[in-house]
Structure 1
Amino acid sequence: MMYGWDGNGWGVGAWVAMAVLMLIFWGGVVTVVVLLVRRTRPGEGSAALQPPHYDAERILTERFARGEIDEQEFTARRAALRRQE
C-alpha cells in the first residue's frame, strides 16, 4: 500500500505542525541575523560602554579649544567632572 497523496498519509495535522515548525525555524533565523547585525554596527556600541562623564569632558574640551572658557575654568570643571566618577 502507498502512503502519499491518496488520503492515507499523516493528514492535515502533520501539515499544520510542519507549517508551525517552519515559522519557528525561520523566525529564529531572522532573530539571529538581526542580533548579529545590531551587535556588529560600528560606532553605536562604543558610546554606550563609556561612562557619561566622557561626553561631558569632550564638550568641555571643545569649549576650551574654541576659546569660550579660559584655562582656569577648564581645569576646575574637568576636575569636578572627574571627581563625580
Structure 2
Amino acid sequence: MTMTWYYGTPMGWGGFSMMALTMLVFWGGLIALAVVLPRHPTRTSSATRILEDRLAKGDIDTEEFERVRRTLDSR
C-alpha cells in the first residue's frame, strides 16, 4: 500500500511542494502589487510635463502657466 495524499490521489511530496511553491508565488505577487501600486505616482500628461519644464526654464510666467494648465485640465 502506498501513501496517498488528498483523499486517495497519489500526489506525493513533489506535487505537494509544487503546490506550496505556487501558492507562495501567487500570494507574494498579490502582496507586491498591493505595495507597489499605491506608491506609483499619478501619471501626468506629457503636455503638463512640458508646461512645467517651460515654467522652470523661464520661458513662460506663472500667469500663462496657470492659464494653459486650466485649459489642459478642462479637456
Same fold (TM over 0.5): yes
Show the counterpart of 1:52.
Answer: 46
Specify which of 15, 27, 30 is matched with residue 29 of structure 1.
27
CA contact (8 A) 2:4 2:11 kept: yes
Give secondary structure in 2 for the equivalent of 1:10. coil
Give secondary structure in 2 for the equivalent of 1:30. helix
The aligned length equals 64
Structure 1 runs (4+) greater than 3 angstroms displaced: none
Q: CA deviation at 1:39?
A: 0.3
Instruction: Please tell me the root mean square deviation across aligned C-alpha atoms, in Å.
Output: 3.0
Show the counterpart of 2:36.
Answer: 38
CA contact (8 A) 2:54 2:60 kept: no
Inter-CA distance 10–60: structure 2 relative to 1 (3 Å threshold):
same
Q: CA deviation at 1:13?
A: 4.0
Identity, in percent, stands at: 10
TM-score (norm 1): 0.55
Unaligned runs of 5+ in 2: none
